[in-house]
Amino acid sequence: MSLKSSKNNKMRSGQFALSPVAKWVRTAAIAGVASSCVFSAHAQQEQAKATEVEPDVEIISVTGTRRTIQDQIAIKREATTVVDGLSSEDIGDLPALSIGEALESITGAASHRENGGATEITIRGLGPFLSATHINGREATNGSGDRSVNFSQFPSELVKKVAIYKTQDASMIEGGVAGVIALETVTPLDYGKQRLQGEVKLNYNPDESNVDNSLQSDLGYRGTFSYVDQFEFDNGQAVGFSFGVQRQDISQPEAEYRSSSPSGSSLWACLNDPTNTNEGFYRSSAGDCEDQVNGSNNQGYDTEIDPDTGKAVSDGTPYAWTGSSRSFRQNETSDERDAVFFAFQYQPSAEWDINFDSQISDRTQREARHDLIFLQKRATPGVTGPSLVTNDVGGILHWEGEERIESAGEQFSREENYRGYGLNIEHTVNDRLTIDLDLAYSKTSREELQISNRGRTAGRNFFSWDMGDNIPHFTLTDFDVTDISNFTDSLRTRIDRENVRDNKVVSARLDFDYLVDSGMFTTIQGGVRTSELSFTQFGGTNGNGSRNQFTLGSGAEALDVLQGCQIDFPESGFLSSVSDGNIITHVDSDGNVVDTGTGSSWATYDNECFSQAVVASNEGGVFEYPEVEYQNAGTIDVTEKTTAAYLMANYDTEMFGKFIRGNFGLRIVDTEVTSIGFRNSFDVVTSDTGILSLVESDTGTLDKIKGGGDYTKFLPSFNLVVDYSEDILLRAGIYRGMSRADPSDLGYSRSFQEDTSDTATTISDLLVGVNGSGNPDTQPLMSWNYDAAFEWYPNEDSIFALSLYYKQFQGGFQQRTVIEDFVVGGETVSLPITNSVTNDEESEILGLETSFSYRWDNGIGVKFGYNYADTDFEFEDSLYGDTFVTDVDGNTTQLKEGIVEPGSVPGFSKHVFSSQLYYQIGGFDTAVIYKYRSEYFQPYTSNGTRLRYVDSVGVWEMRASYKINKHFRVKAEAINLFSAPKSQDFFVEDNLGEVNDYGPRLFLGLSYKL
């Protein structure tokens, strides 16, 4: 039993604890629902459970899905902010396979799916960059270079509570415009009972049964063990600890169709004009469709403004989207994760409470990829243009021509390690004052290793393809893709170490809680917090990493490598759930179908064998992964120091015959960003005639450069809860929120533009501008947020809630020219650079959110959640959108007239829906879940300025369990039950870019509880 007083047992922010009024309301509601005509029978049952009974009367214990939904309802009802949450009676009982899946069951939450599971979470249809994630009240790090959190890194079995705060109060760490996602692990003494638990879940994926997986067997598993205990001593002291460990070893089958992505320079809008023979699909000579026969290369549709017309150079010209390749990818996969959660709680007296907790997660994902690639940009005169069929947005539906074909492969691994530690010391100074000190450390490290191989055809083969219902289907003339000897030209292997990142947050927080206990105010809270976030991405010989590359020409040696490393195609029924039949049809010159080479497979090889053989064929070649380095032009090194202070008043009183409660306060946030980069060292050389020039230093050293920025923001907040009646609450909240730019966007890469006219006599004349990326002075996106809600609680199993919210953003993303100072040759030079900034444009989001839960006496219950939102926020594509630049004097000029409509808020979905039908009687508990999310714009982390749309999708899940006795329970769970694929469009909707087919994931488990 905890020694803390009931006053101190209440959480300081009021998120999960019941205020006195809330307790009264809950009791009154339970007593009052007996008069409800709709829920009368059920209400009498609940009232009987809540009433004191004689010792010989059986007390009904509510568990399972019903208990989980009851806890969700209670969390929402008792909070002073707009919050939806999920908690479990025991550690390990959250009804989900991952934190991502658990959060998806909360109204208004949806996920971005990777490898078949939920990863990043959006709130109310808004992208993860507008949200913040806290573990035990502390910031969490990640390895992606942004501020979202990969929830698949944390096992749901070791988390006690999850909640989404959709309005905020001044005590909460800043950073979430859409909301704050909070995860809590168990505190042993507050848990209050001894518990030993173990669980083993076997994993079977039907799509994996068709794969000869070299990385993982057909069956995987998740094993979890946890133990909680407490000890009280005669001297009044108490100690408690909890320990949890999980081992996961599963496969994540994935089959893919892919087109070149828009994140680089390989996807183009090529002209489709029969009268233009100089470029596009009707060019007079064979070549890439984005190049001109006479003129410039890498052009395609020209969006630059023609000064004579004020329109784009290519205005009015038809076009079609084509990438450098279209391909199929077969994957062998493995996902291994080891996680350890530990907590220690010590109460030396009733006045002191000391908590230490840690979360450790090591995850390794591996893939053996086998690709069949059709190079695609080349236009064949007289064939490609006349035969091309497109849809209304320029997406290609039929293509014909001659191009090379490749059998390629990749061996990929990603290791991600998370470490989170926290120390919290709470001291009750007297009956009124409590002081709380919190120290925290969070670090995520990520590293990716990749082998990329290629064998291609010596000549260009004729093929065509037609778009099916979901993916294209190819027809090849006189070419057998299953014959390895057809791919003996230009063998190449690349060995990469990339995306080596460290993200760390160190913080300290000191808070006080002072009990006023007079009038309407109950407590005054305040505190200060300081934190330092650091993000480092190491550079190398290839931008964000390092690369070793080896080649082998065609001939007998190349054929020996391919045949010596050849393997059977690892999968039967490849992409069968999304294809209309064979993905490849081999025909002869007369159009007759040839059996060999017709189907859904191609010639493949072992990636490591291929790479080692190609390396060995190069004299002195050594097969090894290259090293990355800190002192490199590709390095990003960002430090963000934040100091925040807040003051908040909590109130709880009666007014106009109604009980009201809530809080209001102000949080002040000061942030300073320092960013370090590296550039080639150079000397300023003066000729005999006094002309200056830049000469790269022959020492091979790099110059360290530094940039930065700062801002101070004021974040007021106000929350109000009105207990309108025994079962009706009215709720309102107003707060100002902020969302910071991603750490990877705060880098500082700079290089000088030199005047090459040989006339510069001063450094100011010599240096005319700066090229570079990253802006450490990027200001946060600010918003005013307004919420109003009506909530009806007929009984503990039922809720109807309707919320309206409005968000007014100040800030968008725009290219702007600014002046930065540089020290060159001991002289300070002010130079212009054009970079992405946060502008002062205003936009709005208006939304509606509703929740409904009800349970019948026969054990059947339902739960629905729906969120609708609309916005006028616009995100222009940097390549094919409207582009403007603002000079140093504030004058804005349009540079490009785009051909694609702007995207919305990154991650924004107009519709998000979740539903649950459950049945629970006796020891049997089952639920069917459906989750839907409409289409949304999802930026790339490598180039977040290009548009990529994820199509709408609905996913079914199911779970069932049976309690054998008080110790044992069997469980069955299914994710993506009907194999819903993920489909993505590039630049515009209906221009298909990628389809990922995951298949269902099945788990069968046995748990033990003592």
pLDDT digits (tens, 9 = 90+) for 74-122: 888 888 888 888 777 655 666 666 777 778 878 888 877 776 666 778 8
Least confident interval from 137-151, 303-317, 552-566, 817-831: 817-831
Are the C-beta atoms of residues 228 and 240 closer than 8 Å to each other? yes
pLDDT value of position 941: 62
Looking at the DSSP bridge assignments, the partners of residue 232 are 238
- Given a cut of 50, whether residue 8 has pLDDT beyond it is no
Give the Cα separation of 125 and 963 in Å (integer). Answer: 37
* CB contact set of 698 (below 8 Å; sequence gap of 6+): none
Q: What CA–CA distance (Å, rounded) separates 325 from 489?
A: 17
Per-residue pLDDT band at 815 (split at 50, 70, 90): low
Categorize the per-residue pLDDT at 4 as very low, low, confident or very high, splitting at 50, 70 and 90.
very low
Question: Rounded to an integer, what distance in angstroms lies between the CA atom of residue 409 and that of residue 214?
Answer: 14
pLDDT at 344 (0 to 100): 96
Banded model confidence at residue 229, pLDDT cuts 50, 70, 90 = very high
- Which residues are CB-neighbours of 776 under 8 A, at least 6 positions away? 638, 673, 674, 675, 707, 708, 709, 746, 747, 748
Answer yes or no: is pLDDT of 765 > 60. Answer: yes
pLDDT of 163 above 90: no
pLDDT in tens, 734-750: 999 988 888 988 998 88
DSSP code string of 105-130: TSTTEEEEEETTEEEEEEETTB-GGG
- pTM given for the model: 0.86
pLDDT in tens, 322-345: 999 999 999 999 999 999 999 999
User: What pLDDT was estimated at residue 40?
Assistant: 33
Phi, then psi, of 572 in degrees rounded to 5: -100, 145
Residues facing residue 734 across a β-bridge: 718, 786
Average pLDDT, the chain: 87
Please give the average per-residue pLDDT across 875-894, as a whole number: 81
Structure tokens at 452: 């990329």
pLDDT of residue 149: 78
Residues 662, 649: Cα–Cα separation, whole Å? 9
Confidence at residue 864, expressed as pLDDT on a 0 to 100 scale: 92
CA distance 484 to 482: 6
Is 684 a residue whose pLDDT tops 50? yes
**Would you state the pLDDT for residue 95?**
63
Say how many C-beta atoms besides its own lie within 10 A of residue 857's C-beta: 8
Report pLDDT digits (tens) over 50-65: 344 444 444 455 667 7
Rounded distance between C-alpha atoms, residue 204 and residue 217, angstroms: 10
Mean pLDDT, rounded, for 888-912: 86
**SS3 letters across 704-742:** EEEEEEEEEEEEEEEEEEEECCCCEEEEEEEEEEEECCC
Query: Cβ distance 735 to 782 under 8 Å?
Result: no
pLDDT for 358-403, tens place per residue?
999 999 999 999 999 999 889 999 999 999 999 999 999 999 999 9
By C-alpha distance, which of 487, 495, 478 is closest to 454? Answer: 487
Cβ neighbors of 938 (< 8 A, separation 6 or more) are 112, 127, 906, 907, 948, 949, 950, 984
- For residue 758, the model assigns a pLDDT of 78
Higher pLDDT, 942 or 784: 784
Task: Round to whole Å and give the CA distance between 971 and 1009.
Answer: 14
pLDDT, residue 92, reads: 62
Average pLDDT over residues 295-310: 91
Band (518; pLDDT cuts 50, 70, 90): confident
CB 633 within 8 A of CB 680: yes
What pLDDT does 39 receive? 34
Position 32 pLDDT exceeds 70 = no
**What is the residue whose two structure tokens read 């020209």?**
302
- Distance in angstroms (rounded) separating the CA atoms of residues 848 and 814: 29
Give the Cα-Cα-Cα angle 454, 457, 462 (nearest 5 degrees): 130
Retrieve residue 423's tokens.
């120390």
Closest CA to 747 of 835, 622, 626, 808: 835
pLDDT of residue 819: 77
Amino acid at 662: G
